[in-house]
Amino acid sequence: MSFGGPQWPQEPQQQGQQGYGQPHGYGYPQQPGTYGQQQPQHGYGYPPPQDPFAGGQGDGTPDWGALAAASEAGSRRKRRLLIAGGVLATVAVGALVAAAVVATNKKNDEAKNGGPTPTAPVATTASPTPAPTFSSVAPPPPPDPKDYITDPKKDKAPLTTDGLYPGTKLTMFGRPYKKGATSATKNCASVTTGGLGSVLQKNGCERVLRATYVKDGVAITVGVAVFPSEKAALAAKKQATGGIAPLAGKGVGTFCHATVCLRRANSVGRYAYFTQAGFTNGTKVTTKDKPVFQASDDLGTFVFNQIYARGKSQANAAAAASAPPR
């Protein structure tokens, strides 16, 4: 028995600046003089002081007129300085008021134009961006289609020949096959040849669904046997002997009787599937007959895909049923 078909596979001071503390007082230049003597200094803007005792009658009597004149001159100078200081103070106050008016007008302009409203600086502290949180409960994995074609408690979808072998023909890899007769039975041994019947019964076969396809003088019967477990289906595949009985009808005559045909067995989940392919004219099949091997491969792949699609459909339905409402 050959086995074919798909398998489950981050300031310093500037130079040139004038510092404070010159060696001489501001407005008081040092004058050279005789050794040990120094030229008398006088105040800024004032003439050298006069000796009130010099220029008199020479008798030591003070020159009272000169003293009065000097006093009057000092008073006048003092008044001039006070007046000048007052003018400067007035000018300074006026400048401050003008600056305040200008500043006020400027703020008003900004407000009219939608400028920013000045606010006190706000102290801010950096806070780390909160890390995303994840649920400690892992979401359930999506349903596995194989679970639904392995466990009889999950594999509850209807199983019929029309569902398993739909339509009147099939095309695999561009090769069309016409469908012939179909059948389904719970008497698994009755649709077998050789020792396959006892193998199916021993492993608890529940049903066998068959269909025949034909193309260019090559006929193939495929039979899908259903078992209570994956283990049982795998055992039936390994133990297979004999083959599925050819199914004639619907335009397909008798084939694979008293001649050599190609038999194959495979399984997926709790399903085992068997093919028997040969010439419709009864010619013996040899290893050189590529069309027979190709037809057997095509039908084996087709059945595998159909069984897997059954599991996928039930898994999708289960996922949709368990999804939370939106």
Q: What is the pLDDT of residue 323?
A: 73
For 258-285, how does the pLDDT look when each residue is reduced to its tens digit (9 = 90+)? 999 999 999 999 999 999 999 999 999 9
pLDDT surpasses 70 at 120: no
Tokens (6 digits) for 277: 């392919």
Q: For the chain, what percent of residues have pLDDT higher than 90?
A: 53
Chain centre to alpha carbon of residue 323: 23
Please tell me whether residues 152 and 67 are part of one structural domain.
no
State whether the Cα torsion 31-34-36-38 is positive or negative: negative
pLDDT surpasses 80 at 193: yes
Q: Among 163-167, 293-297, 318-322, which is the least confidently predicted range?
A: 318-322
Please tell me whether residues 193 and 299 are part of one structural domain.
yes
Q: Is residue 34 part of a domain?
A: no
Give the helix/strand (H/E) hosting 208. strand 207-215
Domain interval for residue 183: 145-316
The CB-side HSE value for 275 (13 A sphere, CA atoms) comes to 28
Give the helix/strand (H/E) hosting 121. none
Q: What is the CATH number of the domain that holds 258?
A: 3.40.1000
Q: What is the pLDDT of residue 70?
A: 62
Please tell me whether residues 220 and 257 are part of one structural domain.
yes
Over residues 305-321, the mean pLDDT reads 93
Single pTM value for the model: 0.59
Q: Total domain count for the chain?
A: 2
For 154-174, how does the pLDDT look when each residue is reduced to its tens digit (9 = 90+)? 999 999 999 999 999 999 999
**Eight-class DSSP state of 190:** G
Q: Is residue 19 part of a domain?
A: no
Q: Is the model more confident about 16 or about 138? A: 138
